Structure 1
Amino acid sequence: MSSETTETCDAFLGGRVQLYQPADGYRAGVDPVMLAAATPAQPGQHVLELGCGAGAALLCLHARVAGLSLTGVEMQPMYADLARRNAALNGADMRVVEADLRHLPPDIKTRGFDHVMANPPYYDRARSTSSLNAGRDMALAGDTPLSDWIDVAAKRLAPKGYLTMIQKADRLPDILTPLMARLGSVRVRAIQPRVGRVAELVIVQARKGGRAAFVMEPPLIMHEGERHLRDGESYTAQVLTILREGGDLPWGH
C-alpha cells in the first residue's frame, strides 16, 4: 500500500509509541492504550494478544514494561503487516502471527502465556450493520463469538496467568458466562465518560486457576465534570497519566 495516500503515523503515550495505521478503516484510539495499562505484566513475562490489529496495545505495553516476550495474532494480512512494521519502528521484539484465533499454529497452541490480552470486536454480528470498509467491519464486528475468544484465551494461559479484555459495557453478560466457567478471580472495571454517566466500556480481568470472589472495581472516569463545557481536552488526571505518560491502571487487591 502507498504510505503517502493510505496510511498515517500517529503518536501514542506522548510520542513514546509511533503507529502506522490505515487512513481509512479501523484505527486505534484510547481503548488499546487502556487495555495495555490494565495488563499487569512484569519484566520477563510472556504476553499474547488475540486480534492485535496494527499492534497498538502490545506496543503500549512494551513502552511501559521492559523485557517482555510479545506475540500478536491477527487474521487480516494488512494489519498483521502493519503490526510487524510498527514493532520494528518502535524497537520491540514482537512476533506477529497471521492466523484466525480459532486455528492457531502448533507452536502457539502448545505454549502457555503469563498474560493474554484481547480487544474483541465490539458489536454482535447478528445485531449490527456491516461497514463498507472490510478491515473496519472485521475489527468492529467480525464473525467470532466472544465465547470463542475466551475459550482460546483460557487455553493459552499458563497456570495463574491473567486474561485482560476490554469490551463494550452492554456485552458484559456475553463475557461473564463463558469467562466464569473457564477462569476465576474475575474483576470488572467500568469506564464512564463522566461522573453520573452510564458506562460505555468495561475492562475485565480473570485468572487461570483463580479462586477469589468476583470484584466490581471502582469505575474509571474519563473526563472531568458532569458535562462538556469547553473546547479542548478534559481528561481526568488519572487518564492523562495513562494516555500521555504510559501509566498503569492498577487493580485492587
Structure 2
Amino acid sequence: MQRSDFLGGRVRLWQPREGYRAGIDPVLLAATVPAKPGQSVLELGCGAGPALCCLGARVAGLRLTGLEIQPAYAALARRNLAENALTGEVIEGDIGAPPFALKALTVDHVLANPPYFEIESRSIASDVGREMALAGPAPLADWVRLAAKRLRVKGTATFIQRAERLPELLAAMGEGLGSLELWPLAPREGRAPRLILARGRKGGRAAFRLHAPLILHSGPAHIEDGEDYTDVIRTVLRGGEALNFPP
C-alpha cells in the first residue's frame, strides 16, 4: 500500500501500489456535489473512497455511504474514512444486484464514477482491481437506475464519464431523472472535451442545459515540469473548494 495526499494534504488515502489508483476525476466529481451539512450521500462504486473522503472533508456532518463490489477496495475505503476522521458505511455489493442494506437506503445525493470503457472495446488490464475500475460488467443504465431508485424526490445524481459514452449515459438518465445538465471538461482551450460531468434531479422538471466547457489546464500545451492547472481547478484540487455547476 502507498499513501497519497489529496486536497493539499487535508485528505490522505491509502491506495494499492499496483492496480487502480485515483487521479483527479473523483476529486472533481466530489467537488460538484451540492451537499449540505446533515444530508446523506451515496457513492456507487466507491473504490478506496477518494470521492467520499474529499466530499466529507469539504462538507461537515454528512452521512456517507459507499457501495463497492471488490472486498479489498471496500476495506480500504473503510480504513480511509476512519483515518480521515470521517464517519461512513461501505457496503459490499454489485450494482446490478444491490444488497438488501442498500435497497433500504434513501439519500439526498448520489455520485458515481462508473468504469469509462466497455469490456469488449479494450484490452484487459492484468490487475483485476484496475480492470474492474476501468471496464466493469454493469452497463451504465444499471448505475443510473440504481442512483434514481435510492434518491429522495428532488435529490441529485452526479456522474463523471468519458465524452464518447455520453449518448448512452444521457439515454439512461432520461429514464429516471429530470433537470439534466451537462458540463464538459476540456483539457485546454480549443481542445475537445474528454470527460463530461452530468447531473440529474429526481422529479426535476427544468429544461435540459449544456454548459460551456470547464478548462482544466492553462496554455496551449504542457511545456514545463510541474502543474499547469487553471486557477479554478487548482482551488478544487489543492484548496478543497466546491466546483459548483454554472447557474
In 2, distance between residues paired with 1:8 and 1:80? 16
Q: Give the equivalent residue in structure 2 for 1:4.
A: none
Matched, 1:132 2:144: no
Query: Which of 44, 58, 68 does residue 62 from structure 2 map onto?
Result: 68
Query: Which of 178, 199, 204 does residue 205 from structure 1 map onto?
Result: 199
Q: Give secondary structure in 1 for the equivalent of 2:238.
A: helix
In 2, distance between residues paired with 1:252 and 1:114? 20
Q: Give secondary structure in 2 for the equivalent of 1:164.
A: strand
Q: Give the equivalent residue in structure 1 for 2:235.
A: 241
Q: Which residue identity lines up with residue 145 of structure 2 in the other structure?
A: D
The answer to whether the 8 A contact 2:22-2:50 is kept is yes
Structure 2 counterparts to residues 101-140 of structure 1, below 5 A:
101-140=95-134
Query: Which of 3, 13, 20 does residue 7 from structure 2 map onto?
Result: 13
Q: Give the equivalent residue in structure 1 for 2:21.
A: 27
Q: Give secondary structure in 2 for the equivalent of 1:197.
A: coil
Structure 2 counterparts to residues 126-205 of structure 1, below 5 A:
126-205=120-199
Q: Give secondary structure in 1 for the equivalent of 2:19.
A: coil
What TM-score comes out, normalization by structure 1 length? Answer: 0.96
Gaps of 5+ in 1: 1-6
Query: 1:102 deviation in Å?
Result: 2.3
Q: Give the equivalent residue in structure 2 for 1:90.
A: 84
The answer to whether the 8 A contact 2:91-2:101 is kept is no
For residues 176-218 of structure 1, the C-alpha deviation after alignment (integer angstroms, 9 at most, x for no partner) is: 0111121100001111110011111111000000000111112
Query: 1:115 deviation in Å?
Result: 0.3
Q: Give the equivalent residue in structure 1 for 2:33.
A: 39
Gaps of 5+ in 2: none
In 1, distance between residues paired with 2:212 and 2:177? 22
Q: Which residue identity lines up with residue 101 of structure 1 in the other structure?
A: I
Identity %: 53
Q: Which residue identity lines up with residue 153 of structure 1 in the other structure?
A: A
Q: How many residues were matched structurally? A: 247
* Deviates further, 176-185 or 51-60: 176-185
What TM-score comes out, normalization by structure 2 length? Answer: 0.98
Q: Which residue identity lines up with residue 179 of structure 1 in the other structure?
A: M
In 2, distance between residues paired with 1:133 and 1:228? 30
Q: Give secondary structure in 2 for the equivalent of 1:147.
A: helix
In 1, distance between residues paired with 2:152 and 2:101? 15
